[in-house]
Chains A and B, each alone.
Chain A
Amino acid sequence: MNFDFSLIISSIPQLLEGLGLTLQLWFISGILGLLLAIALMLMRISGKWFLYAPAMIYIYIFRGTPILVQLFIIYHGLPQVEFIRESFLWVVLREPFGCGILALTLNTGAYVSEILRGGVNGVPKGLGEAGAALGLSKVQRFIYITTPLAVRLAIPAYSNDVISLMKSTALVSTITLLDMMGIARIIVSETYAPYEIFISLMIIYLVITWGTQKAFALFERRMSRHIIQ
């Protein structure tokens, strides 16, 4: 096999043209997904069946099926439904970009809500009782006691999910979007050099992952000031 190292380097600038789209998909769905996750988590811990039951079903469906299938249903399936074409949703679903954002958001929301719930459940019950005994309302206890401690507990698992979301953005190349993966596939079809191109692509993804891990490590250290090292 003829392996062309220079191609690995020279294809990187071309691949980086898709970086903007990759980052957009990642950040937008990451933030929307986090908001969705918070809502789902609150529903899950509400103690009211008409809130936690729908949340549980939602989470089960989105964690129990491949994200690629979810993406295809949203991109190929939903536009078949007439009332969706006529509703405001169509503004989003008309474009593959909107479909990508929607699929990634719905999927990461399901995973992250479980991560957040784990964090909340990890906060010792006695701390909430201490807050209650001081006269703090339920909402005050949740904001000032539970949340900061739950966030600290959830960071390691959450950072994994953020990285896995970044990797999942590559799936949108299957619905015609030209993110880094989409561009890589085009270059491969022109150069017939899959190894070199995909290795360059791996390098870029690895650099992003490395930066993300560093950022979360810093965040975790900051949130752990109260634990003696």
Chain B
Amino acid sequence: MNLANTEPRTVISLQNVDKYFGEFHALKKINLTVAKGERIVICGPSGSGKSTLIRCINRLEQHNSGNIIVDGHELTDQVKDIDAVRREVGMVFQNFNLFPHLTIVENLMLAPRLVRKTARDEARKHAMKLLERVRIPEQADKYPSQLSGGQQQRVAIARALCMNPAIMLFDEPTSALDPEMINEVLEVMTDLAKEGMTMICVTHEMGFARSVADTVVFMDAGEIVERNTPEEFFNNPQQQRTQTFLKQILSH
């Protein structure tokens, strides 16, 4: 591991965050801090609020009370801060969400060109570098529909990296993939972790959690039930709900 910084700086902090969908209480008094370079894996049963939690961090969902501070910016209705935060935070979705009408390299160039006003050549050069990093430079001029699921998800990771984010959010990046494609995506994510990227990753890939995560967070019914190092989390779960959950997913 290359955790070069000596004084871990808090880059994300959630304090008493509540989120409602109408009457439904989706997040209940969530408290979570993430240090620079920290890798957090979030797991929990379906509907427990994992997606909602990470979507609040880049304000794809708006929380109803409590504070969320990302890289020094408090998330409020102020549009300026939200865009500043979103540039610092990359996100990878379960369904890739590549722009189908743009080629692979254009998918990567769009945001730098529009948001940073990067020149075309420079944006393309940077995009190609990122495609090499996710090991598919040869697909640059194809359209997303011509790629396999695993390749599309690697492009999506590269696209999220094209704004040079300090933080990466992953929402079940491998659960829409055929089993034989899961590893190629996990490898890219592991590379990222090794390079010191701050990552919050919703996943049920427990092998990945064990080998990469600093912290595993278990959620159920909108609450953070337990958080611990992977070692403790898997070998010595404290809460009844965690034990039940682990039994279920490890029996597959």
Name A's B-contacting residues (CB within 8 A).
124, 126-127, 129-137, 140, 144-145, 148-149, 152, 225-228
Determine if A144 and B114 form an interchain contact, defined as CB atoms under 8 angstroms apart.
yes
Chain A to chain B contacts (Cβ below 8 Å), 7 pairs: A127-B100, A129-B60, A129-B97, A130-B91, A135-B86, A135-B111, A226-B101
Contact of B93 among A129, A149, A152 (CB under 8 A): A129
Dominant secondary structure at the A interface: helix
Which residue in chain A gives the minimum CB-CB distance to B79? Answer: A137
Give the residue of A135, A140, A227 whose beta carbon is less than 8 angstroms from that of B145.
A227
What is the distance, in angstroms, from B124's C-beta to the closest C-beta of chain A? 17
Contact of B89 among A127, A133, A140, A152 (CB under 8 A): A133
Residues on the A chain within 8 Å of B160, using CB:
133-134
Q: Which of B83, B90, B111, B144 counts the most chain A CB atoms within 10 A?
A: B111
Which of the listed residues A130, A133, A144 has the most CB atoms from chain B within 10 Å of its own CB?
A: A133
CA distance A226 to B160 in the complex (A): 21
With contacts A126-B97, A144-B110, A148-B101 taken as known, whether A133 is within 8 angstroms of B91 at the C-beta atoms is yes
B residues in contact with A129, CB < 8 Å? 60, 93, 97
**CB of B143 within 8 Å of the partner chain:** yes
Q: Look across to chain B and name the residue whose beta carbon is closest to the beta carbon of A147.
A: B101
Nearest CB of chain B from residue A132's CB, rounded to whole Å:
6
**Chain B residue, CB-CB nearest to A152:** B101
Q: Are B143 and A225 in contact (CB under 8 A)?
A: yes
- A115 to B227: give the CA distance in the assembly, Å: 50
Across the interface, do A134 and B145 meet the contact criterion of CB distance under 8 Å? no
Within 8 A of A (CB), among B190-214: none
Chain A nearest CB: distance from B95 CB in Å?
6
Q: Give me 18 other A-B pairs in contact (C-beta within 8 A), A126-B97, A225-B143, A227-B100 excluded.
A: A124-B97, A127-B99, A129-B97, A130-B98, A132-B60, A132-B86, A133-B60, A133-B89, A134-B159, A134-B162, A135-B115, A136-B110, A136-B114, A140-B115, A144-B110, A144-B114, A152-B101, A226-B100
CA separation between A127 and B100, bound complex, in Å? Answer: 9
Is there contact, CB below 8 Å, between B143 and A228? yes
Q: Could you tell me the dominant secondary structure of chain B's interface residues? A: mixed
Q: Which of A134, A135, A140, A228 contacts B146 (CB 8 A)?
A: A228
Report the Cα distance A107→B159, complex, angstroms. 43
Q: For A152, what are the chain B residues with a Cβ–Cβ distance below 8 Å?
A: 101
Q: Give A137's nearest chain B residue, CB to CB.
A: B83
Q: How far is the CA of A136 from the CA of B143 in the complex (A)?
A: 21
Residues on B with C-beta less than 8 A from A149 are 100-101
Task: Name which residue of chain A comes closest to B59, CB basis.
Answer: A132
Which residues of A are found within 8 Å of B95, using beta-carbon distances? 126
A140 nearest CB neighbor, chain B only: B114
Report the minimal beta-carbon distance from B181 to chain A, rounded to whole angstroms.
19
Interfacial residues of chain B within 46-69, with CB under 8 A of chain A in the complex: 58, 60
Residues of chain A contacted by B83 (CB below 8 angstroms): 135, 137
**Across-interface contacts of B110 in A (CB, < 8 A):** 131, 134, 136, 144
The answer, yes or no, to whether B87 is at the interface (CB within 8 Å) is yes
Distance to closest chain A CB from B125 (angstroms): 18
**What are the 9 A-B residue pairs with the smallest beta carbon separation, nearest first?**
A134-B111, A130-B97, A133-B91, A135-B87, A226-B143, A126-B97, A135-B86, A135-B115, A148-B101
